[in-house]
């Protein structure tokens, strides 16, 4: 079955056109006869002939995510027929060897059915490998020749997407070289775009420095800074949930919301990335990027349209409104030995390439305030960590409790709060908890929930999460990419905390057992406000009472 990876969005796009394809047996997302909603004018969203050059063609990211995503795009018919994929890396490989290594990875991932094979063979015929040093002008001269050859074959299409799937120290040098070789120059008939992977800087100064450096070569509209969380369907759905429904927005403010919790819990440890992680830590690795993107989408004001800059401006404003985070509102932790999902896990300090006395945090919990009219006084609690009890990324919006007075003379001693939980992954969906009368003569209240699970409504998509990102870049839609000011606003919000922690390394580093829900200090951080974290579970319970 040829799955349409953008199936859900297609129903939005096809306003007035042919009806969206539906899998038999699956309930319809839109009731019969309901008007389709045009999320934005999507005309011109079919990719034009182009070449894509991946720097870091032999790397893990290319193998695990970029090339599998391309294969899914082929399956979905979302790549232009005139397409070339050029891989550049330091290793001495032939095109044939490169193709074979990628094919092996593909087999390991089990993606091997007949349709996949067709998609793969479509792609293989368009793949070329070029050995080259990312810092040598010679590499870029040869690349220019190779691109010209491809362009000649594709009937002259000169559009090129450069994908920087390399270590961050190469971002600046590669963009410099693209500039020197004239490869970043656009013309009326040819666009040149550059996807830059994470991490974009390691603090505010380095992010600003990198922005300034690449802006000497590229205009902002040529730069596509990746935050892969924005490629997740459930993250993209946050804006649809908020702005395509009438029931949430009137309640979405300090008058009705008590607090918000954002959790990104992982069961994995550092997985052989000890060297990288020692320099990074949980705060840099997850907060100014992934967690802040979730925060921005939950908290932003409505944009005037879904155009990239309209959305990104509102997200940036929200991040700019974060109060400076003080150490008293932050907890850092590091995992010790323990058991995760039934498997014994060694302490972080025993991971390869990790110092025996490492003070790097593998867990962070924060309390944030947003300094604007909508959110004044509403705390946002964020937490993320490695080697925790379960893998779950979720946002819980807890509403203010109803007044109790009416129930004073009943057996009810407490009214639970309503909570809207957005399950970003796994078990994607959302639920709203509320109170219901337990059947019987007395007034007794029970907590119940309304639940929506993606799998009940939409066919599963073959996706590694990078499909939409690559596709959107090919069609020139920068909405799911970070703008320079967004990245800088995010670093700015955490810079004070980074400085404070650097000056007191390990002072307040709290140990937690691998497989637990994190350090006790994180529970105290939220308990001092009379609140409690949502439990960390991978499969959700239909109803989870508020604390």
- Whether 323 is a known active-site residue: answer no
Quote the CA–CA distance of 423 and 396 in Å, as a whole number.
Answer: 9
Closer by beta carbon to ligand BG6, 183 or else 464: 464
Which residue's Cβ has the minimum distance to ligand BG6? 285
State the CB neighbour count (10 A cutoff) for residue 28.
Answer: 12
Nearer to ligand BG6, 334 or 393 (CB): 393
- Could you tell me which residues are beta bridge partners of residue 366? 330, 382
Least Å distance, CB 393 to ligand BG6, is 6
- Cβ closer to ligand BG6: 89 or 285? 285
Q: Which is nearer to ligand BG6, 237 or 393 (CB)?
A: 393
HEC per residue, 174-201: HHHHHHHCCCCCCECCECEEEEECCCCC
Q: How far is the CB of 213 from ligand BG6 (least distance, A)?
A: 22
Cβ-based nearer residue to ligand BG6, 346 or 391: 391
331 vs 313: CA distance, rounded Å: 30
How far is CA 378 from its chain centroid? Answer: 24
Tell me the three state secondary structure of residue 386.
coil
Minimum Å gap between C-beta 198 and ligand BG6 is 5
Residue placing its CB nearer to ligand BG6 in the complex, 99 or 228: 228
Q: How far apart are CA 36 and CA 43, in angstroms?
A: 15
Return the bridge partners of 259, or none. Answer: 398
Chain residues 223-262 in contact with ligand BG6, contact rule CB under 6 A: 228
266 vs 477, beta carbon nearer ligand BG6: 266
Burial class of 108 by CB neighbour count within 10 A (0 to 12, 13 to 18, 19+): exposed
Count of residues that bind ligand BG6 according to CB under 6 A:
5
Residue 43 corresponds to which tokens in the numbers above?
């005309």
Per-position DSSP letters for 390-438, written without gaps between them? S-EEEEEEEEPPPPSGGGTTSS---PPPPEEEEEEESS-EEEEEEEEEP
- Are the C-beta atoms of 129 and 95 separated by less than 8 Å? yes
Contact residue for ligand BG6 among 116, 176, 258, 266 (CB under 6 A): 266
List Cβ neighbours of 525 (8 Å cut-off, separation of 6 or more): 329, 330, 331, 365, 367, 381
Residue number, 184 or 286, with CB nearest to ligand BG6: 286
In whole angstroms, how close is the CB of 354 to ligand BG6 at the nearest point? 14
State in angstroms the smallest separation of the CB of 280 from ligand BG6: 8
Closest CB 262 distance from ligand BG6, rounded Å: 13
For CA atoms 351, 354, 358, 361, the dihedral sign is: negative
Least Cβ distance, residue 388 to ligand BG6 (angstroms): 12
Secondary-structure breakdown of the chain: helix, strand, coil percentages, each rounded to the nearest 5: 35, 20, 45
> What is the maximum alpha-carbon separation in the chain?
85
- 285 contacts ligand BG6 (rule: CB under 6 A): yes
Out of 290, 323, 503, 540, pick the active-site residue.
290
| Two structure tokens written together for 475 | 């069609």
Question: How close are the terminal C-alpha atoms of the chain, in Å?
Answer: 45
3-state secondary structure of 226: strand
| Separation of alpha carbons 415 and 410, rounded Å | 12
**Which of 222/237 has CB closer to ligand BG6?**
237
Phi, psi of 343 (to 5 degrees): -110, 140
Using CB under 6 A as the binding rule, the residues of this chain from 131 to 190 that contact ligand BG6 are: none
Residue showing tokens 């018919």: 77
Least distance CB 67 / ligand BG6 (angstroms): 17
185 to 224: interface string for ligand BG6, x by CB under 6 A? -------------x--------------------------
- Tell me how far, at minimum, the Cβ of 365 lies from ligand BG6, in Å: 17
Q: Using CA atoms in the order 480, 485, 488, 492, what is the torsion angle rounded to 10 degrees?
A: -110
Q: Which residues bind ligand BG6 (CB under 6 A)?
A: 198, 228, 266, 285, 393
Residue numbers annotated as active site: 290
């Amino acid at each position: 079955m040829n799955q349409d990876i953008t199936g859900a969005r297609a129903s939005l796009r096809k306003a007035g056109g042919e009806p969206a394809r539906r899998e038999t047996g699956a309930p319809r997302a839109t009731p019969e006869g309901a008007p389709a909603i045009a999320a934005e004018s999507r005309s011109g969203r079919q990719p034009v002939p182009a070449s894509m050059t991946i720097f870091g063609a032999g790397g893990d990211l290319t193998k695990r995510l970029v090339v599998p995503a391309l294969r899914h795009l082929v399956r979905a018919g979302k790549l232009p027929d005139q397409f070339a994929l050029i891989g550049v890396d330091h290793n001495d490989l032939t095109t044939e060897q490169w193709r074979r290594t990628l094919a092996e990875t593909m087999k390991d991932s089990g993606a091997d059915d007949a349709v996949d094979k067709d998609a793969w063979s479509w792609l293989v015929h368009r793949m070329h490998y070029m050995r080259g040093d990312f810092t040598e002008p010679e590499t870029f001269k040869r690349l220019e020749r190779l691109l010209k050859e491809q362009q000649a074959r594709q009937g002259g299409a000169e559009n090129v997407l450069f994908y920087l799937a390399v270590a961050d120290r190469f971002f600046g040098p590669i963009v410099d070289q693209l500039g020197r070789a004239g490869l970043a120059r656009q013309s009326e008939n040819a666009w040149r775009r550059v996807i830059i992977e994470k991490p974009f800087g390691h603090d505010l100064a380095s992010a600003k420095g990198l922005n300034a450096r690449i802006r000497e070569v590229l205009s902002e509209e040529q730069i596509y800074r990746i935050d892969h969380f924005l490629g997740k369907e459930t993250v993209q759905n946050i804006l649809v949930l908020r702005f395509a429904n009438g029931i949430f927005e009137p309640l979405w403010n300090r008058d009705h919301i008590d607090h918000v919790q954002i959790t990104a819990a992982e069961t994995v440890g550092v997985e052989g990335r000890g060297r990288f992680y020692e320099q990074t830590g949980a705060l840099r690795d997850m907060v100014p990027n992934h967690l802040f993107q979730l925060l921005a989408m939950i908290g932003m004001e409505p944009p005037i349209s879904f155009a990239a800059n309209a959305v990104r401006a509102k997200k940036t404003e929200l991040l700019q409104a974060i109060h400076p985070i003080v150490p008293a509102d932050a907890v850092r932790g590091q995992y010790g030995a323990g058991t995760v999902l039934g498997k014994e896990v060694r302490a972080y300090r025993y991971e390869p390439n990790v110092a025996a006395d490492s003070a790097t945090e593998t867990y962070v919990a924060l309390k944030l305030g947003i300094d604007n009219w909508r959110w004044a006084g509403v705390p946002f609690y964020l937490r993320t960590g490695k080697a925790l009890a379960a893998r779950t990324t979720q946002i819980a919006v807890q509403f203010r409790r109803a007044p109790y007075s009416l129930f004073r003379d009943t057996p009810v001693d407490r009214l639970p709060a309503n909570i809207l939980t957005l399950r970003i992954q796994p078990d994607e969906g959302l639920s709203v908890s509320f109170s219901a009368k337990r059947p019987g003569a007395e007034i007794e209240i029970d907590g119940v929930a309304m639940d929506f699970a993606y799998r009940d409504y939409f066919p599963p998509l073959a996706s590694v999460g990078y499909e939409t990102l690559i596709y959107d870049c090919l069609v020139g839609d920068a909405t799911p990419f970070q703008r320079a000011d967004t990245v800088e606003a995010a670093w700015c919000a955490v810079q004070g905390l980074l400085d404070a922690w650097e000056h007191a390394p390990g002072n307040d580093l709290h140990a937690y057992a691998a497989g637990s829900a994190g350090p006790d200090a994180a529970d105290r951080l939220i308990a001092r406000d009379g609140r409690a974290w949502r439990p960390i579970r991978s499969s959700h319970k239909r109803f989870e009472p508020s604390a």
